[in-house]
Amino acid sequence: MDEKPRLRLAPARERAVPINDRLAPLYPRFEGLDHDGPLQLLVAVVLSAQCTDARVNTITPGLFARFNTARAFAECDIKELEQLIKPSGYYKSKAKNIRACCAQLVARFGGEVPSGLDDLVSLPGVGRKTANVIRGHAFATPGITVDTHVGRLSRRLGLTRHNDPVKVELALAEIVPEPEWLHFSGRLIMHGRKVCLARKPRCADCAVADLCPKVGVPPTSRTSTGPKVVKSKTAKGARPDAPSSH
């Protein structure tokens, strides 16, 4: 039997805001990295590469109790730092980047984390995604953070065809209102974790299924009766401004 033709959807620019509006009440709080200030956020984001936020959040309390300034990290014993962050994986390269990054903070920025994008990406271990997380959550500067979830959902929703994270970021910036950039990124991340899974998306439980062309989704996974109201399971005490970078 031939597959039924899919309904013709509005252009991405016309669907971006409705998608964001539907996801907003589902994910009022973002479950991400625990931090207290820009330095802790920077270190936590570096640790979150190829590691879950939950795992990082078990590491950082002890880590920040031991090292609480950029100078402390810059002058730390590398072996001790490696042992403290070992559960995050890739701990040798992460320890090297954290110490080198903090040495740059001390030498160039008086031990403070800068707010400028160009300054941030000049630091060891800090790319554009990490910089946007820091700027958005530590300095209230709107930015779109593109991790694997945001990239995948943006393509699946037909909001962009790009694979390159920077091109995805720029494409979303053109169709999502600037005040919502950071929130939209967080909502896509949460939706990607809970509903729009990589291998088996739960289209029947998706609040934006009727706005989604389901790019790359097998026909057997596309069944949906329309928008669903999915209750968000938010961890007790989670902050709406907590980020993720993976």
Q: Which residues are catalytic?
A: 129, 147
CA distances from 65 to 80, 159, 223, 238 (A): 13, 42, 50, 21
Supply 10's token pair.
């509005």
**Rounded distance between C-alpha atoms, residue 52 and residue 34, angstroms:** 12
Closest CA to 17 of 194, 146, 157, 190: 157
DSSP-assigned letter for residue 221: G
**Rounded distance between C-alpha atoms, residue 34 and residue 217, angstroms:** 34
Q: 131: Cβ–Cβ under 8 A, 6 or more apart, which residues?
A: 117, 120, 121, 143
CA-based radius of gyration for the chain: 19
**Rounded distance between C-alpha atoms, residue 87 and residue 23, angstroms:** 33
**Rounded distance between C-alpha atoms, residue 134 and residue 136, angstroms:** 5
